[in-house]
Amino acid sequence: MLFRSAEEAYDEETEKEIKLGADPVFVDEAPNGKERARFSNIWELDLIDGKNARKITDEKLIIDEFALGSDNATIIFVARPDDRTNYGHFAELYIYRDGKLERLTFNEAPESLPLISPDASKLAYRAPSDEGFELRSGYFWVMDLETREKRRLDGQKTGEVFGAVTWSADSTSLIYNEQHGVNTNLYEINTVNGVAKALTNKTGIHRAQAFSADAKTVAYVFEDHTSPRDVYVSDLSLSEPVRLTDANPWIREDRTLTQGEVLQWEGKGGMLIEGIYYPPVRKGRSSGKDPLIVFIHGGPPAAWEANFRDDFQIMTNAGYAILAPNPRGSQGYGEEFLQALRGEVGDGEFIDMMNGVDHVIANKNVDPDRLGVSGWSWGGVATSYTVTQTQRFKAASIGAMVGNWAAETGPGFNFDVALWYIGGTPWDNPEEWAKRSSITHVKNVTTPSIIFHGGDDTTSSVGQSLMFFTALRDIGKAPVRYIKFPRQGHGVEEPRLLRILYSNELQWFKKYINGVDWKIPPASFETQDQ
């Protein structure tokens, strides 16, 4: 038998209205203004003949994830009762057993990743807390399915779990990936005493995709600074992995790549900040000082990792050094660091980053007079703020930005993000919301800026970048260019449009950092008649 969740169809009356051209538009109160989601339920289907489909839940719920117990009769799933997107904090755990549905959690903390132990006695899941919607990492919790008692496993250092998770065969521990700093490795945590231990300690990203039934073998994806993702299989030590794919041999054979180096420096208030420095590819280049581009990551709770970045390799092959800082608010460095951006939007991360720039100038072969800055999403937020605070950068590339937090309340960038990091609301705390918005300080900008945005972005509103562009153009202190990508959301995915993004960004940096009027080579896309 196959169990799966499926969206519920619209009722007959709604379907009739849609066919008549009266497709209902739902004005959603969710932060990202997306359409109302459909309710979903879990169905049972006979795999032999594909028939005998049976709906085993019948509730007005949005079911996101579920786990099947070893008895093939117990189902535990994550669901929320509100049919609006971006209301993930309403997610709760439910158990379906013996034809009965029972709710297991009662809070406003988003639960995820339910896993029933092999002996069917315990449930493991992830949640930031057992209370409300908080800016915290997602830690493991274990619930006794008999008593319904639950507790957090405190042995995790960061709570940043990625990829597949499994129970040990004896139901005493969980095996998982956790990000620490710029690396992701395999860990095991005892579900009795909460003690975690590292199974591997390697450089790069080791992200489990599936485990064997006895939890002794893992299929995982590996990548590092110079190796794009490929699939491997190994025992849990990852000491003698078998490589299953070689998706990009041409990169290894035909390209010269740069290797990242982890650096540390003091940020605002003496906080230890980490980042990755990529030297330029030296092949055929002079030995003079290098121009530097600072790339600011999105999130804010994200981080630059020791993974393969095609955009970084493009820029270093064009002769630029790169600094990829993980300022306060980045994930992978513990709770205190994660929450350190609260009340420090703009200033805190700006000082952390600029101290990193000074550190690189002092310790690497970098030209202090040829600096650029780039960022997308929250990186675009931070980049737009950065150019209002300093004139040290000769060029900026700003993607999917928000420059006016009050104007973004509701229609775009996560409302909860602003509430977490700024505090209050724009009507209760207008001075602070204005202070943290780059549009407030836009008169200070003298940095030539190129601005990008996806035309279908529902995470940060397209009007935000247009607002910033218009202000820069009308003020007239610096060159500015605005490019909107059709059909693209919060990132650019279509290869031809990615080429436009990368080539125009590089052209902008060459012109305003290097003083070179570089012409973008014509595209050479091959087509084939079908």
Sole residue written with tokens 């003079």: 288
The total of other beta-carbon atoms located within 10 Å of residue 350's CB is 21
Indicate if the alpha-carbon torsion angle 76, 81, 83, 87 is positive or negative.
Answer: negative
The residue ranges of every structural domain in the chain are 1-115, 256-512
User: What local confidence, expressed as pLDDT, does residue 529 receive?
Assistant: 32
CA within 13 Å, CB half, 126:
21
Spatial separation of the C-alpha atoms in residues 34 and 17, rounded to whole Å? 20
User: What local confidence, expressed as pLDDT, does residue 373 receive?
Assistant: 98
Rounded to an integer, what is the distance from CA 363 to the centroid of its chain?
Answer: 30
Contact 303, 331 (CB under 8 A): yes
Spatial separation of the C-alpha atoms in residues 76 and 145, rounded to whole Å? 11
User: What local confidence, expressed as pLDDT, does residue 421 receive?
Assistant: 85
User: What local confidence, expressed as pLDDT, does residue 528 receive?
Assistant: 35
**Structure tokens that stand for 518 in this block:** 């570089």
Class of domain 256-512: alpha beta
Find out whether the peptide bond into 300 is cis, omega within 30 degrees of 0.
yes
User: What local confidence, expressed as pLDDT, does residue 263 receive?
Assistant: 97
User: What local confidence, expressed as pLDDT, does residue 18 receive?
Assistant: 60
Residue stretches of the chain with pLDDT short of 70? 1-11, 14-38, 50, 82-89, 283-286, 410-418, 524-530
**Structure tokens that stand for 78 in this block:** 């994550």
CA within 13 Å, CB half, 401:
33
User: What local confidence, expressed as pLDDT, does residue 286 receive?
Assistant: 66
Distances (CA, A) of 302 to 181, 327, 337: 11, 10, 12
CA dihedral 138→139→144→149, nearest 10 degrees, is -90
Cα angle, residue 278 at apex, residues 273 and 279 outer, rounded to 5°: 130
Q: What DSSP element (H or E) covers 362?
A: helix 347-363
Q: What is the pTM of this model?
A: 0.87
The total of other beta-carbon atoms located within 10 Å of residue 382's CB is 27
Which residues, including other chains, have CB under 8 Å from residue 125's CB and lie 6 or more apart?
A: 78, 93, 111, 112, 113, 114, 115, 140, 141, 143
